[in-house]
Structure 1
Amino acid sequence: MTSMLDGCTPWPEEFVDYYWASGHWRGNTLDNLLRGWALQYGPRTALVHGDTRITYAALNRRVGRMAAGFRLRGLRPGQRVVVQLPDVPELVISVFALMRAGVVPVLCPISHRAPEVSHVVQVSEATGYIGPPTYRGFDHTAMAADIAARGPFLRRVFTFEAPGASDPYGGFTTDPSGCHYFPLHSLDSPPEAALALSAGQVAFLLSSGGSGVSGGSGEMPALVPRTHNDYAYQARAAAELVSLTQDDVYLSALPADLNLAFGGPGIIGTLTVGGTVVMVEDQEPAACLAAVERERVTVAALAPAAARLWLDTRSGVGGGTGAGADVSSLRLIQIGGSAPPLDRATAERVAAEWNCGLQQVFAAAEGLLSLTRPGDPDETALTTQGRPLSPDDQIRIVDADGEELPAGEPGELLARGPYTARGYYRAPGLNARSFTSDGYLRTGALARRTPGGDLVVTGRVEGAARLLDRAEAPSGP
């Protein structure tokens, strides 16, 4: 079996064989899937951001040229690069370009600061960093330079400036520590021959909400390895579940580095079917509602707290812009993340005020997605987080001693399956606490099963080692 990446926990061989035999894993890398999407959907719009519109053909072409640029600037297959960008097309382009160059992107929330980013660089031994020079008043390049000076890993910094902005660092410089700085837009070289990459390898690393690793500012993020095989399956299955088609327009009102927003079906699932992804940097309700109206968005994903704000903003509570926004194009709203779940009153308002379907979701960076189905009875859609995405997801609800509980009894939710990681990256001590001996993830979520088999997530297990939820966290500076 192909090694995922040193420092990762592989699936046992019998599970690998079963996931292949079941057709879940299909052996195609995400960047190679993009080549196919470009051929199939070439002139269709893949990404929208403000006035910028990028077709599938242009997206694939830009990814190929940026990948060659990364290689020219010294990045090598197997290396890791931290990607810390707001929700802009360059986030998608750079992640795919790194994968195409054989480099492993490490998706890092734009809200993270020096303690978290430094920790991520140290754990991943990242040789590169992609971020804005400054964003919402915070100097990301100065932070990266300080991390590079402390050594020994970070040696390439790629700065992204929005169109029309100027990079105060100028780019194409080298600091005393030997770290080189390049403008991201300068990575534009003739594409190289495709690398021979394995779909069993790690495509990228996602950041969990916290890991139980103590840092100066609290919990430090753990890194979740996601392979091409498992993530392509997750995004494809989630897209099929909500009947996503090329006529859909998807808006993520969650940061794109979250699992639900990136692949539940999210950005990757929408691209899989030839739909259009609308990216919004400003995730305030008024800006999101304006994007829904302007782009005729059909599917959107947001956190429970944001759902309440959207509803209040559109109904005119508190005044301001966004009141009366036209949301008639919406056919489905996904609401969720991790605990706490959506309250019933807000769930009822979605259907009543927006006349669209509601899908409740429990999502973990480690993999597990539990979702209500479009055909579920109202009571199920309003009060539960549905059932796991895959027929081969295995879940257990256990007490403090690890004993299985009967339906209706609340306990910790455990999960394993074809898209749920078997361990964090380079974290053996944490893995011993967070995964059972037979490979189940201890999600830290308190949940129970209904008589019909649906999951109701009610909160956090007291003393849980990890904090999975960032969907409710503020995304500002």
Structure 2
Amino acid sequence: MSTRTPLSIDGVVPWPEDVAERYRRAGYWLDTSITAHIADQVARRPHNEALVDGPTRLTYQQLWDKSASCAQALLDLSLAPGDRLVLQLPNCWEFVALTLGCFRIGVVPVMALPAHRRHELTHLAALSEAVAIVVADVDRGTDLREVAQQVAAGAETVRTVLVHGELTASPAVGSIPERSLAACMDNPVRFDERAYEPAGGDLACLLLSGGTTGLPKLIARTHDDYVYNIRRCVDVAEFDEHTVYLGTLPASHNFPLACPGILGALFVGGRAVMLPSPAPERALRTIDAEAVTVSAVVPAVAQTWIEYQREHHLLTGTSLRVLQIGGSRMPDELAARVEPTLGARVQQVFGMAEGLINMTRLDDDPEIILSTQGRPVSEADEIAVVDEHGNPVPDGTPGALLTRGPYTPRGYFRAPEHNTRAFTSDGWYASGDIVIRRPDGNLVVAGRDKDMINRGGEKISAEEVENFAYQVEGVEMAAAVAMPDPKLGEKLCLYVTVAGGHEVTLDAIVRVMSDAGVARFKMPERLVVVDGMPTTKVGKIDKKAMREDIRARLAHENTGV
């Protein structure tokens, strides 16, 4: 337990002191750091395997030593407790070692996604005032070292670039010097643990919001609340020292990182296996080879695994016990195919990086597991389901979800205007989800009340896409909506009206977004040019009518009638 006073960082919204003290008295907050819990496992089982990444296999002691090397390397680069570091790496053992190294000295990782590019990374670096950025050398044909230099030019606080892979052969004059992440891992361990042990109230990391109103907002997670988040998810998912967790979703997402995820496996002395993608052939072979017991996927991935297993029968063992499914609602009929095909019980997970996590329990009746998204993992989670006026609705009635509790922060990082809309004065967070609460306490997700497209678990702001569309000459009005997709759940369709004498193409809109360095998953995949936008009775653009229109268009194309 740390006795140090937590660091004060401008922009972090604190819990009210009386509420924080109540959480401590109740034992929800332990005044310990994330790494203190992993250190306990290092002491208990130093020679047990902790992390696997292809041919690399690290014991708990080896992983701990690598994280200490990272911590010392960051200190040698003049990073200090409270400094922010934009972390963009694929799923690899280095991601885990560096994250733990940051936690150990109080450097705050900003959890960027591998798909992010200059547009998003510059925003994250500037908003967080990051002093460093960590990238892979190349990803899917994009030189991320060049992107990192562009980010440094656009965010004046960035002074250090760390590269996982090959350094730039001939760096441009005036560019920020690159450092090798591999060299950081090989640093002699000179790290003084006692000088840097974080306090429970210290900022641990900055997660990303779904970005429903433009670029992502930052979610401040402290060691106190994130430890509790992990502990409760560990208990409900029934992780223990025999757990072998396969991480295939981007590890910077809250779901595979801490619900309970990679950190949860390390909290209990289990083993985490890292894969750079959930591609079915390699994932299914790895499940067999590593005797994986649990993994976490989005519905689209679950569907590809089921289809691949039915066709190729790659899974021959019986180790896979649980398949957690979250990110978006899974169709009931798809959930019913998991156990007969993959041999694993489904655990539905509905939550948010802003806090609240709901899970079905492993011993729930099949009807609950297949048709609900579970119930809160903590008895301290407060839930309200309300109508448009904020009044509670009866169980069984759709309503907007409000929540608060010991791992749901009280505001976004440095976003006061948005906080006034998303958080009430007494700490309730409005998630934007429309849910139905059943009499048994389980929730059924019925939709969203915000303007967002959920593409296979990746959230896309309609507003952000529309703003880029308006940069294309000839676009008079633009409206982005979700269109159904059998694999991803939703894809992005853009409706536009066009000024006379102009022609607007999908390629032109995609080109504008690409030139701005926007992540590929945000690009519209269909363009519909209309004479006029449908409107509601009060004159607002009627996106409900557009979603119905694109469904009808797709149905016509699929049936030919």
| Same structural fold, with TM-score higher than 0.5 when normalized by the shorter chain | yes
Equivalent in 366, 372, 378 of residue 378 of structure 1: 366
Equivalent in 261, 275, 278 of residue 273 of structure 2: 278
Partner deviation per Cα, 1:10-44 (whole Å, 9 max, x = no partner): 11112211211111111111223332221112111
Matched, 1:260 2:250: no
1:462, distance to aligned residue in structure 2 (A): 4.5
**Which whole-Å CA distance do the structure 2 matches of 1:466 and 1:104 have between them?**
28
**Which whole-Å CA distance do the structure 1 matches of 2:24 and 2:286 have between them?**
40
**Which whole-Å CA distance do the structure 2 matches of 1:48 and 1:245 have between them?**
17
**Which whole-Å CA distance do the structure 2 matches of 1:280 and 1:27 have between them?**
33
Contact 1:360 1:385 in 2 (8 A): yes
Equivalent in 14, 39, 44 of residue 35 of structure 1: 39
**Which whole-Å CA distance do the structure 2 matches of 1:359 and 1:18 have between them?**
31
Contact 1:123 1:426 in 2 (8 A): yes
**Alignment map for 1:22-421 (pairs within 5 Å):** 22-161=26-165, 166-169=166-169, 176=174, 179-187=176-184, 188-194=187-193, 195-212=196-213, 219-316=214-311, 323-337=313-327, 339=328, 341-421=329-409
1:302, distance to aligned residue in structure 2 (A): 0.4
**Which whole-Å CA distance do the structure 2 matches of 1:153 and 1:329 have between them?**
47
Matched with 1:15 is: 19
Contact 1:129 1:158 in 2 (8 A): yes
1:469, distance to aligned residue in structure 2 (A): 4.7
1:460, distance to aligned residue in structure 2 (A): 1.1
Contact 2:210 2:458 in 1 (8 A): yes
Contact 1:210 1:467 in 2 (8 A): no
Matched with 2:425 is: 437
Task: List 4+ stretches of structure 1 deviating above 4 A.
Answer: 462-469, 471-477
1:470, distance to aligned residue in structure 2 (A): 2.2
1:476, distance to aligned residue in structure 2 (A): 7.5
Out of 146-155 and 71-80, give the one that drifted further.
146-155
Q: Which amino acid aligns with 1:412?
A: A
Pair 468,305 (structure 1): closer, same or farther in 2 beyond 3 Å: closer
1:463, distance to aligned residue in structure 2 (A): 4.2
Contact 1:208 1:467 in 2 (8 A): no
* Count of residue correspondences: 457
Pair 54,174 (structure 1): closer, same or farther in 2 beyond 3 Å: farther
Contact 1:364 1:468 in 2 (8 A): no
Please state whether the residue corresponding to 1:409 is helix, strand or coil. Answer: coil
Contact 1:237 1:390 in 2 (8 A): yes
**Which whole-Å CA distance do the structure 2 matches of 1:174 and 1:228 have between them?**
39
1:351, distance to aligned residue in structure 2 (A): 2.0
Q: Which amino acid aligns with 1:176?
A: G
Contact 1:209 1:221 in 2 (8 A): yes
Partner deviation per Cα, 1:216-243 (whole Å, 9 max, x = no partner): xxx2011111111111111111111122
Equivalent in 430, 438, 447 of residue 459 of structure 1: 447
Pair 467,434 (structure 1): closer, same or farther in 2 beyond 3 Å: farther
Q: Which amino acid aligns with 1:85?
A: L
1:58, distance to aligned residue in structure 2 (A): 0.4
Pair 465,358 (structure 1): closer, same or farther in 2 beyond 3 Å: closer
Q: Which amino acid aligns with 1:428?
A: P
**Which whole-Å CA distance do the structure 2 matches of 1:137 and 1:416 have between them?**
42
1:327, distance to aligned residue in structure 2 (A): 4.9
Pair 296,77 (structure 1): closer, same or farther in 2 beyond 3 Å: same
Greater RCO (CA < 8 Å, at least 6 residues apart):
1
Contact 1:210 1:466 in 2 (8 A): no
Contact 1:63 1:96 in 2 (8 A): yes
**Which whole-Å CA distance do the structure 2 matches of 1:379 and 1:400 have between them?**
30
Runs of 5+ consecutive residues of structure 1 not aligned to the other structure:
213-218, 317-321
Please state whether the residue corresponding to 2:354 is helix, strand or coil. Answer: coil
1:196, distance to aligned residue in structure 2 (A): 4.2
Pair 265,175 (structure 1): closer, same or farther in 2 beyond 3 Å: farther
**Which whole-Å CA distance do the structure 1 matches of 2:455 and 2:408 have between them?**
17
TM-score (norm 2): 0.78
**Which whole-Å CA distance do the structure 1 matches of 2:336 and 2:293 have between them?**
19
Runs of 5+ consecutive residues of structure 2 not aligned to the other structure:
460-487, 492-518, 522-561
Contact 2:255 2:261 in 1 (8 A): yes
Pair 106,462 (structure 1): closer, same or farther in 2 beyond 3 Å: closer
Pair 201,465 (structure 1): closer, same or farther in 2 beyond 3 Å: farther
TM-score (norm 1): 0.91
Pair 201,132 (structure 1): closer, same or farther in 2 beyond 3 Å: same
1:94, distance to aligned residue in structure 2 (A): 0.7
Pair 31,180 (structure 1): closer, same or farther in 2 beyond 3 Å: farther
Larger radius of gyration: 2
Contact 1:444 1:464 in 2 (8 A): no
1:99, distance to aligned residue in structure 2 (A): 1.9
**Which whole-Å CA distance do the structure 1 matches of 2:337 and 2:454 have between them?**
32
1:467, distance to aligned residue in structure 2 (A): 10
Contact 1:211 1:466 in 2 (8 A): no
Contact 2:82 2:203 in 1 (8 A): no
Alignment RMSD = 2.2
**Which whole-Å CA distance do the structure 1 matches of 2:173 and 2:351 have between them?**
41
Contact 1:4 1:227 in 2 (8 A): no
